[in-house]
């Protein structure tokens, strides 16, 4: 349905409502509204000095003296009409307002907790202990047993170093082994037993989960070969995509509430750790890193996350419910409840939005009462009435 047809239907419906309320109003005393000045056609600018019906059979709407004095667009509704429309109002008030930025993201590894197992010596893998991706290991757990001719040769020199060159030479051997990142347990064994080891064990340098493994039993490895990638998942990052216009409300240290489809009804709390400096040209979003504890390990990499970041509260802000604002695209309007069934449109300038509330920068004052429900119907009737009043020729009025 086109916008023009929707407007016509709405205008006709409002005219019917106005005619119905006019019929009810005629049965009431007019003492509180003043004298009836004239009657106006609900669908045109035609006026009459006496009650009548138009070509569609709808009653002309009475225009009272009090209404004629009011600002154009002011609507007066009977108590019955207000009840029929379900009009609800709210008071303009000052309070602290905290903007919440909504974004989506995914769970990623905490890059500061990633460890690569890459020996500084060559050798052959004889037996694997950490033999599958996804295994969890603790620092000091055995990863594999290996044979290294290089290390065996260095260790074999150890018992002869003291006899030839004294304790200083022995210390030199230990330093060579340490520089090659030989496990401390193996060095301690050598110092105690003074014998070379042909079957050494490489242990995990840190706690973590094996997320990548190239080690295969029987393979030869060279210095620098990455055999395992370990990640400590007790803390993870959620990388969220935040729209460009929301970046001004994001600061490091802010609290983020995060929910996951895998855990309905449960939320997790993290902190903004970093705002990345670049903008995606296609999506106009920036990456925001949120540090999130994961002690139970229930959060898995690449999980979809729904993120809400709470901004710093603005103090003593003038606010109204979002539902009170009518946005035409060109202007924003609220309907002020003037009392006695009278409502008047008022242009406003809005600021930040937080949840169901919006900041008012101009157009209202504290204590004003605005319409929050049925305001669209009232505003449409107000615009219709103001237009008809502007088209009414003064000479036609009695």
Residue 299, in any domain of the structure: yes
Question: H-helix or E-strand containing 24?
Answer: helix 3-26
Determine the Cα–Cα distance for residues 171 and 150; give it in Å rounded to an integer: 18
Q: Are residues 199 and 288 in the same domain?
A: no
Q: Are residues 46 and 92 in the same domain?
A: no
pLDDT at 13: 43
pLDDT at 44: 59
Residue 80, in any domain of the structure: no
Q: Are residues 22 and 105 in the same domain?
A: no
Q: Report the CATH number at residue 367.
A: 2.40.420.20
Q: Which of 225, 249, 266 is the last residue of a domain?
A: 225
Residue 77, in any domain of the structure: no
Q: Are residues 104 and 249 in the same domain?
A: yes
Q: Which of 312, 335, 351 is the last residue of a domain?
A: 312
pLDDT of residue 64 exceeding 80, the answer is no
Residue 49, in any domain of the structure: yes
pLDDT in tens, 262-314: 999 899 999 999 999 999 999 999 999 999 999 999 999 999 999 999 877 78
Residue 169, in any domain of the structure: yes
Q: Are residues 217 and 262 in the same domain?
A: no
pLDDT in tens, 84-136: 778 889 999 999 887 789 999 999 999 999 999 999 999 999 999 999 999 99
Q: Are residues 220 and 135 in the same domain?
A: yes
Residue 198, in any domain of the structure: yes
pLDDT at 356: 86
Q: Which residue has the tokens 């009090």?
A: 66
Residue 36, in any domain of the structure: yes
pTM for the predicted model, two decimal places: 0.61
- Do 391 and 32 contact (CB within 8 A), yes or no? no
Residue 82, in any domain of the structure: no
Q: Which of 201, 225, 249 is the last residue of a domain?
A: 225
pLDDT of residue 157 exceeding 90, the answer is no
Quote the number of domains for the chain: 4
Q: Are residues 240 and 105 in the same domain?
A: yes
Q: Are residues 368 and 295 in the same domain?
A: no
Q: Helix or strand or coil: residue 207?
A: coil
Q: Are residues 145 and 198 in the same domain?
A: yes
Q: Beginning with the edge strand found earlier in the chain, give each strand of the sheet holding 200-203 in spatial order.
A: 200-203, 142-147, 123-128, 220-221
Rounded mean pLDDT, 50-70: 74
Q: Are residues 320 and 357 in the same domain?
A: yes
Which structural domain, as residue segments, surrounds residue 13?
1-72+380-398
The phi and psi torsions of 288 (rounded to 5 degrees) equal: -125, 125
Determine the Cα–Cα distance for residues 202 and 205; give it in Å rounded to an integer: 9
Q: Are residues 38 and 124 in the same domain?
A: no
Determine the Cα–Cα distance for residues 79 and 340; give it in Å rounded to an integer: 9
Rounded mean pLDDT, 24-45: 58
Determine the Cα–Cα distance for residues 293 and 128; give it in Å rounded to an integer: 31
Rounded mean pLDDT, 313-334: 87
Measured distance between the N- and C-terminal CA atoms of the chain, rounded to whole angstroms: 41
Q: Report the CATH number at residue 172.
A: 2.40.50.100
Q: Are residues 127 and 217 in the same domain?
A: yes
Determine the Cα–Cα distance for residues 74 and 306; give it in Å rounded to an integer: 44
Q: Report the CATH number at residue 253.
A: 2.40.30.170
């Amino acid at each position: 349905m086109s916008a023009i047809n929707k407007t016509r239907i709405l205008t006709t419906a409002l005219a019917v409502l106005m005619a119905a309320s006019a019929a009810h109003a005629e049965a009431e005393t007019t003492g509180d509204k003043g004298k009836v000045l004239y009657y106006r056609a609900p669908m045109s600018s035609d006026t009459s000095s006496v009650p009548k019906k138009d070509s569609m059979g709808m009653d002309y709407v009475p225009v009272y003296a009090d209404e004629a004095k009011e600002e154009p667009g002011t609507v007066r509704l009977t108590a019955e009409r207000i009840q029929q429309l379900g009009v609800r109002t709210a008071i303009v008030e000052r309070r602290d307002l905290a903007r919440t930025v909504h974004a989506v993201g995914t769970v990623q590894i905490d890059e500061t907790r990633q460890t690569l197992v890459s020996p500084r010596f060559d050798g052959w893998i004889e037996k694997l202990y950490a033999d599958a991706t996804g295994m969890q290991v603790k620092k000091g757990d055995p990863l594999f047993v290996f044979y290294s001719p290089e290390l065996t040769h260095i260790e074999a020199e150890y018992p002869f170093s003291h006899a030839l060159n004294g304790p200083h030479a022995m210390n030199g051997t230990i330093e060579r082994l340490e520089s090659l990142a030989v496990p401390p347990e193996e060095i301690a064994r050598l110092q105690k037993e003074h014998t070379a080891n042909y079957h050494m064990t490489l242990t995990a340098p840190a706690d973590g989960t094996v997320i990548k493994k190239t080690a295969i039993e029987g393979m030869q490895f060279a210095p620098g070969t990455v055999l395992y990638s370990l990640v400590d998942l007790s803390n993870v990052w959620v990388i969220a995509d935040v729209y460009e216009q929301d970046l001004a409300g994001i600061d490091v240290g802010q609290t983020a509430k995060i929910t996951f489809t895998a855990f309905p009804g449960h939320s997790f709390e993290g902190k903004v750790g970093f705002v990345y400096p670049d903008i995606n040209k296609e999506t106009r979003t920036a990456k925001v890193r949120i540090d999130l504890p994961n002690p139970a390990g229930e959060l898995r990499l690449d999980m979809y996350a729904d993120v809400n970041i709470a901004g710093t509260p603005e103090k003593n802000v003038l606010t109204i419910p979002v539902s009170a604002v009518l946005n035409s695209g060109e202007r924003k309007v609220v309907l002020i409840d003037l009392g006695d069934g009278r409502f008047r449109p008022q242009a406003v300038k809005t600021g930040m939005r937080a949840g169901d509330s919006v900041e008012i920068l101009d157009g209202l004052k504290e204590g004003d009462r605005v319409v929050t429900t049925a305001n669209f119907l009232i505003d449409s009737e107000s615009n219709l009435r103001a237009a008809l009043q502007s088209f009414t020729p003064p000479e036609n009025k009695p």
